[in-house]
């Protein structure tokens, strides 16, 4: 871990800004629009990528984090912060529309300045992996020292190979503190240029992580992209609280220019600096990237879940809900979920985006959500569906409750498998325990609660002429979804 007693940052507090708004389509079928990769335990079986991002800051003098995410993911963010004890300290800024990293960081900077006029931000993406946390923290100390001198600092990953999928940063003059002025940013190169950059010693992969004085960044944004800064100021001024979230003003953000911090500010300013980073970094941008960073067996395979392999080499195999077996293949990606299976050559893993595009064009649900859907109160899994009936497995977290609701087209039968349910049905409220059941007629207002200390598990059988999720009329909701 970093030595925070060096005198360089011991007298200040960093404000972590976690950008958690990506879609992660190249990791389909695990990553979906409503449950993208930053909320999945991909590189660490114990922590999601968002949780691991926050964990690598432990040991640095950090304030509560500011998490910027899309409003569709708000309950995922809140639940994952709650699991690691960060929810009470965090600010969650909800974007109704995505506008890129430059506005997202500006919104966080404006919010941070409300609490600390000298705020220094450490900006991290929630969907990256760092293998050497100590090296990262030492680089962060160097970056903070430069940020206090007025530099806008980006981390440059020292290349380990020629890579055409990343942008590069070319360093200029040395600035002290182990950093350099940025000579230029280079777009994704062809293979020959990538090889030259990787061997030059003066080029780094652009990792999309930054240390910025909040006021300095906003000053540069106002000079280089004044309309963007103005729109962000309006979006925060018009924000409204919603439970543990801050909802940014939709109209202001819809009118905000969309751009990355690289294009909007760093490529145009004369105050950009780069600090080299050697920390086993990966942006986990594809299944092949997960294979590269994963723990391999003697045959070069990375396996997760219930997997059996025979004569398989240099492959990534991931099982989620059942046994996955493979025989006599090499260099493949095989990923199974409850509702989809992906098989691809490892060198073609990036092309999974074409499958996602076809799913979107056909308006199929598999690109948007998993069969198991997470809600602020727990989750439900659509076990089976057919004409006029559907079976779900419902899990309600201790102390949580569904909305008071009714349905115009379906009735519901509830059977308790585990725990205790408090049921509101019309004017009556009663308890159900294991192996007990009840019936909710069409049009009957009802609510389900878990008053216990263990998860409530139920089987729900829906019957009726229409079983879509939009046949829910919420009359009252603890999570503000009415």
For residue 132, name the pLDDT band (cuts at 50, 70, 90): very high
Position 71 confidence tier, pLDDT thresholds 50, 70, 90: very high
CA angle 272, 158, 105 (to 5 degrees): 40
pLDDT band with cut points at 50, 70 and 90 for residue 258: very high
Average pLDDT over every residue of 309-328? 97
Q: What per-residue confidence (pLDDT) applies to 12?
A: 65
- Work out the pLDDT band at 165, boundaries 50, 70, 90: confident
Please report the pLDDT score of residue 454 as a whole number: 97
Banded model confidence at residue 424, pLDDT cuts 50, 70, 90? very high
With both helix axes pointing from N to C terminus, report the angle between 101-115 and 226-237 in degrees, rounded to the nearest 10: 50
pLDDT band at 343 (very low <50, low <70, confident <90, very high): very high
Q: Is the pLDDT of residue 8 over 50?
A: no
pLDDT category, 32, cuts 50, 70, 90? very high
* CATH 3.90.550.10 domain position(s) in the chain: 14-281
- According to DSSP, the residues that pair with 281 across neighbouring strands are 130
> What would the 3-class secondary structure string for 406-465 be?
ECCCEEEEEEEEECCEEEEECCEEEEECCCCEEEECCCCCEEEECCCCCCEEEEEEEEEC
Q: How confident is the model at residue 4 (pLDDT cuts 50, 70, 90)?
A: very low
Mean pLDDT, the chain, whole residue set:
94
Among 9-18, 166-175, 403-412, the least confident range: 9-18
Name the 3-class secondary structure at 246.
Answer: strand
* Section 427-437 average pLDDT: 97
Give the pair of three-digit tokens for residue 409: 């087209």
Superfamily of domain 372-476: Jelly Rolls (2.60.120.10)
What was the pLDDT predicted at 7? 39
Q: Is the pLDDT of residue 171 over 60?
A: yes
With a threshold of 0.75, does the pTM exceed it? Answer: yes
Q: Which CATH architecture has domain 14-281?
A: Alpha-Beta Complex (3.90)
Mean pLDDT for 241-249 is 93
- 319-347 residues labelled b (16+ CB within 10 A) or e (exposed): bbeeebebeebebbbbbbbebbebebebe
Average confidence (pLDDT) over 84-104:
95
State how far the Cα of 24 lies from the Cα of 356, in Å rounded to an integer: 11
User: Looking at residues 313-336, what average pLDDT do you find?
Assistant: 97
Average pLDDT value for residue range 164-169: 91
pLDDT tens figures, 347-395: 999 899 999 999 999 999 999 999 998 899 999 999 999 999 999 999 9
Mean pLDDT score, 450-478 = 95
Q: Please state, in angstroms and rounded to a whole number, the distance separating the CA atoms of residues 222 and 259.
A: 14
- Asked if the model's pLDDT at residue 181 lies above 50, the reply is yes
**pLDDT at residue 39, as a whole number:** 95
Q: What is the pLDDT of residue 5?
A: 41
Is the pLDDT at 3 greater than 70, yes or no?
Answer: no
Express each pLDDT in 189-235 by its tens digit. Answer: 899 999 999 999 999 999 999 999 999 999 999 999 999 999 999 99
Residue 329 has pLDDT above 60, yes or no: yes
- Confidence band, pLDDT 50/70/90 cuts, at residue 45: confident
Percentage of residues in the chain with pLDDT exceeding 90? 89
Name the segment(s) of the chain with CATH classification 2.60.120.10. Answer: 372-476
Q: Which residue has the tokens 């966080």?
A: 108
Euclidean distance between CA atoms 57 and 150, whole angstroms:
22
Give pLDDT, residue 11. Answer: 56
Across the range 57-70, mean pLDDT stands at 95
Q: For the residues of 108-149, what is the DSSP string, one character each? A: HHHHHHHH-TT-EEEEEETT-EES-HHHHHHHHHHHHHHHTT
Q: What percent of the chain has pLDDT over 70?
A: 97
User: How close are the terminal C-alpha atoms of the chain, in Å?
Assistant: 46
């Amino acid at each position: 871990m970093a030595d925070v007693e060096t005198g360089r940052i011991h007298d200040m507090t960093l404000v972590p800004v976690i950008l958690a708004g990506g879609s992660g389509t190249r990791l389909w079928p695990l990553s979906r629009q409503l449950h993208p990769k930053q909320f999945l335990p991909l590189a660490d079986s114990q922590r999601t990528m968002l949780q691991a991002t926050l964990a690598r800051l432990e040991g640095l003098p950090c304030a509560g984090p500011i998490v910027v995410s899309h409003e569709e993911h708000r309950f995922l963010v809140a639940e994952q912060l709650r699991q690691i004890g960060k929810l009470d300290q965090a600010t969650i800024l909800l974007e109704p529309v995505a506008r890129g990293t430059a506005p997202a960081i500006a919104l966080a900077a404006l919010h941070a300045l409300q609490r600390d006029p000298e705020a220094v931000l450490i900006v991290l993406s929630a969907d990256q992996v760092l293998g050497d946390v100590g090296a990262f923290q030492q680089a962060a100390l160097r970056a903070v020292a430069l940020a206090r001198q007025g530099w806008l600092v980006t981390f440059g990953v020292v290349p380990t190979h020629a890579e055409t999928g990343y942008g590069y940063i070319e360093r200029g003059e040395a600035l002290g503190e182990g950093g350099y002025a940025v000579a230029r940013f280079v777009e994704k190169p062809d293979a020959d240029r990538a090889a030259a950059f990787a061997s030059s010693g003066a080029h780094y992969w652009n990792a999309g992580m930054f240390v910025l004085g909040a006021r300095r960044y906003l000053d540069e944004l106002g000079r280089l992209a004044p309309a963007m800064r103005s729109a962000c100021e309006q979006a925060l001024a018009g924000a409204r609280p919603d439970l543990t979230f801050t909802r940014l003003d939709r109209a202001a953000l819809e009118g905000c220019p969309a751009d990355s911090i690289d294009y909007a500010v760093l490529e145009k300013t004369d105050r950009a600096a780069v600090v080299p980073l050697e920390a086993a970094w990966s942006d986990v941008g594809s299944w092949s990237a997960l294979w590269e960073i994963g723990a391999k067996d003697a045959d070069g395979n990375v396996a997760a879940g219930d997997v059996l392999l025979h004569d398989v080499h240099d492959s990534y195999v991931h099982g989620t809900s059942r046994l996955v077996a493979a025989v006599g293949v090499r260099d493949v990606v095989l990923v199974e979920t409850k509702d989809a299976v992906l098989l691809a050559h490892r060198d073609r893993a990036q092309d999974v985006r074409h499958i996602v595009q076809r799913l979107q064009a056909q308006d199929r649900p598999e690109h948007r959500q998993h069969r198991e859907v997470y809600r602020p109160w727990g989750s439900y899994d659509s076990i089976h569906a057919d004409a006029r009936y559907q079976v779900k497995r419902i899990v309600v977290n201790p102390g949580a409750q569904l909305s008071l609701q009714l349905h115009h087209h379906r009735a519901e039968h509830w059977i308790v498998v585990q725990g205790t349910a408090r049921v509101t049905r019309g004017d009556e409220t009663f308890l159900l325990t294991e192996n007990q059941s009840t019936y909710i007629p069409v049009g009957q207002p009802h609510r389900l609660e878990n008053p216990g200390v263990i998860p409530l598990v139920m089987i729900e059988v829906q019957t009726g002429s229409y079983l879509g999720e939009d046949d829910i009329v919420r009359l009252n909701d603890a999570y503000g979804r009415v």
